[in-house]
Amino acid sequence: MPSTPYQSPISPGVSWYEASVGERPEYPPLDGSVTADVVIIGGGFTGLSAATHLAKAGTNVVLIEQYRFGDGASGRNGGQLNTGQRAWPEDMEDELGFTRAKALFDLAEEAKAHLFEFSRANGIEIDYVPGHMSVVHKKRYLKDYQAHPAIMAERYGYPHITWMDAQETAKRLGSTHYFGGVRDTGTGHIHPMKLVIGTARVAAAAGAKLYENTSATSMKSEGGKVRVTTAKGTITADKALIAVNAYGGDLEPKSAAHIMPIGSFIGATVPLGDDTDVLPGGESVDDSRFVVRYFRRSKDGRLLFGGREIYSTGDPKGIADHIRRQITEVYPQLKDVELTHQWGGYVGITMPRKPYVREVMPNVISVGGYSGHGVMLSNFMGKLYAETVAGNRDRLKLFEDLKIPAFPGGRALRAPLLFLALNWYALRDRF
């Protein structure tokens, strides 16, 4: 373990992931001006995966990350892969029709298979644990959850989801807090920082030029070239991928208008031991709240419990108090359990909770806004971007065609407006 815990400068708290991976390989900052076929801004899953697939295809690719790889959401999230897009396909059907909803579902299944195959083929140990449960905190949602497994099996060809009544839910969770739910044996959860580190290693070995501690301060596209300015030089390329998600600030105004950062926070307990009744089957869990709670056990038996809290200052003590309250609601037996780590990060959300994929300037594509569902999708989006650079845009286009309105209120008012909206939803979660 590192002697001094590393604290991401852009995300609060030291994560258990950071503390459990040992020394992270360091990549140098970019010093001077370079040219490339493609420049990527952002070293999370989206950017690193794109760099890997581009380099493997022989493209000259440069990636810059403003701090360390994984310092944004990718190294610090709940690690839950889930299934499909963020919304259930039957809900997407209302807006998109069956054919598009099914195509997006199938793509997400491919994303899942790709993540497993990529980590296996490249020897990346991601600590995968199978099993996921989505559980109901208000009785009014029970009917939809009960209908979901048959819809998934019959309309979407996905037979891995089963309904759980209150009794089974309580047994599998070790908690009577929920009224029922569904269990998905076709997905599970991973150690996200191990995937970040492994992907960077594979990208570098394939020939991608990777730079940490190198911030893009501005960018423009003119005369068929993209120019990205950093503190110590310029990167000139034919194409660019903006993969900054919730952390982009003012770098590019269209992405900023469509992707909003929302804080999400996680606490890790001490290992609970072999005789605990908490999640004996090892599944991950998310619940039906709009301000969703998500939790799972780590491979060494800790409870990693996450929830979104817009009031939180990001101060680690504030995070711990808040997460402890939420843990105690679900697991009263853990009210005095020691929390060893507490941390957070920023989820990039869009208005309709679907990814934002757009050509925001000539030859510049921006990808992000996975809305809390990016562990599996962002890794695949990098592959779809590489396919696009190679001349096949069909699959990326499935996302480009999604209607994603900008947040109302412009840059000044959108945060207060969203704050009000989230408060309203948080209130609705309680009644």
Ligand X SMILES: Cc1cc2nc3c(=O)[nH]c(=O)nc-3n(C[C@H](O)[C@H](O)[C@H](O)COP(=O)(O)OP(=O)(O)OC[C@H]3O[C@@H](n4cnc5c(N)ncnc54)[C@H](O)[C@@H]3O)c2cc1C
- Does residue 305 interact with ligand X by CB under 6 A? no
CA nearest to 175, candidates 311, 330, 393, 398 = 330
CA nearest to 243, candidates 374, 117, 106 = 374
Smallest distance, ligand X to C-beta of residue 206, A: 18
- Does residue 158 interact with ligand X by CB under 6 A? no
Q: What tokens were used for 335?
A: 């009210």
- Does residue 66 interact with ligand X by CB under 6 A? yes
Give yes or no for a contact between 228 and 244, defined as CB atoms under 8 angstroms apart: no
In the sheet that holds 260-269, the strands lie side by side as 161-164, 181-189, 129-135, 284-287, 293-297, 303-308, 260-269, 339-349
CA nearest to 358, candidates 410, 384, 408, 396 = 396
- Does residue 399 interact with ligand X by CB under 6 A? no
- Does residue 243 interact with ligand X by CB under 6 A? yes
Smallest distance, ligand X to C-beta of residue 310, A: 13
Binding residues for ligand X, total number by CB under 6 A? 46
Smallest distance, ligand X to C-beta of residue 112, A: 11
Q: In the window 67-86, what residues touch ligand X (CB under 6 A)?
A: 67, 71-74, 76-80, 82
- Which region, judged by CB under 6 A, interacts with ligand X, from 50-58, 66-74, 328-336, 423-431? 66-74
Nearer to ligand X, 71 or 93 (CB): 71
Chosen residue from 344, 351, 357, 384 binding ligand X by CB under 6 A: 344
Q: In the window 253-292, what residues touch ligand X (CB under 6 A)?
A: 264, 266
CA atoms of 2 and 159, how far apart (whole Å): 43
Nearer to ligand X, 91 or 165 (CB): 91
Nearer to ligand X, 150 or 231 (CB): 231
Chosen residue from 306, 307, 316, 318 binding ligand X by CB under 6 A: 306
Chosen residue from 188, 267, 316, 345 binding ligand X by CB under 6 A: 345
Burial of 42 (0-12, 13-18, 19+ CB in 10 A): buried
Q: One symbol per residue from 36 to 65: x for binding ligand X (CB under 6 A), - otherwise; what is it?
A: -----xxxxxxx----------------xx
- Does residue 7 interact with ligand X by CB under 6 A? no
Positions touching ligand X (CB under 6 A) are: 10, 41-47, 64-67, 71-74, 76-80, 82, 215-216, 243-248, 251, 264, 266, 294, 306, 344-347, 368, 370, 372-375, 378
